[in-house]
Amino acid sequence: MTFRAGVFDLDGTLLDSYAGIHDSLSTVLEHFGRPPVTVEETRRLVGHGLETLIAQVLPEELRAEAVERFRFRYKVNAPKLTRLMPGAELVVSELWRRGVRLSIASNKPAVFSRQLLDGFGLADLFAFVGGPDLGFPVKPAPGMVLAALELMGVPAAETLYVGDMTVDVATARAAGLAVAVVPLGSSTREELEALRPDHLLPALVDVLGLFGDVRRG
């Protein structure tokens, strides 16, 4: 079947956010006198929310301050360090042209997601941008996706979830959606294959073949 709506993950799917996240995390670790991590190590740490990211590198008594320091640095520096993933602008603009309803379900705070999408001129193409700062539990809890479905007015059976991580497969299944993943982010191809997603795509642009043209019927 072809889908009429899409719920997209953000980091590693539409945005290459790793340099910005690494910059903020490095600032936090330096402040607390902790050893640095590489960009590749950062890539493997992200995807489960900011609090979980910080919990993986700092003890509990430092985490609240670390989260605030990270947020401040990220808001200032992330926009100039973030890039679109290959094919992301084409995919989003083409789906919007077809009349496909679009949403974001990310463990990144929605305030940052909107800031970054707006910087690329894409924010207005999404009917819903979800994040834990809006009161949703982090993925794989399905709350963000279910809220997106309600707002878009498209049933789960006609909506495709698109992501890059094993948590995205779990999220889609919790919400009752088919899932397509592209192994370009934090999870390896082997990790994704083990979960048997509905579609394992070599490139993001390949997702276009899974959506219909709503405006043509």
DSSP 170-196: HHHHHHT-EEEE-TTSSS-HHHHHTT-
Q: Give the whole-angstrom CA distance, residue 145 versus residue 43.
A: 23
CA distance readout (Å), 131 to 77, 107, 136, 169: 20, 5, 6, 17
Q: Is the peptide bond before 140 cis (omega within 30 degrees of 0)?
A: yes
Q: If we measure between CA atoms, which residue out of 187, 180, 196 comes closest to residue 91?
A: 180
Strands (E), 117-182: 128-130, 159-163, 178-181
Tell me the angle at which helices 60-81 and 18-31 cross, rounded to the nearest 10 degrees: 140
Catalytic residue among 9, 11, 164, 168: 9
Active site residue 9: yes
And the tokens for 197?
């997603």
> What sign does the CA torsion over 43, 44, 48, 52 have?
negative
Question: Known catalytic residues?
Answer: 9
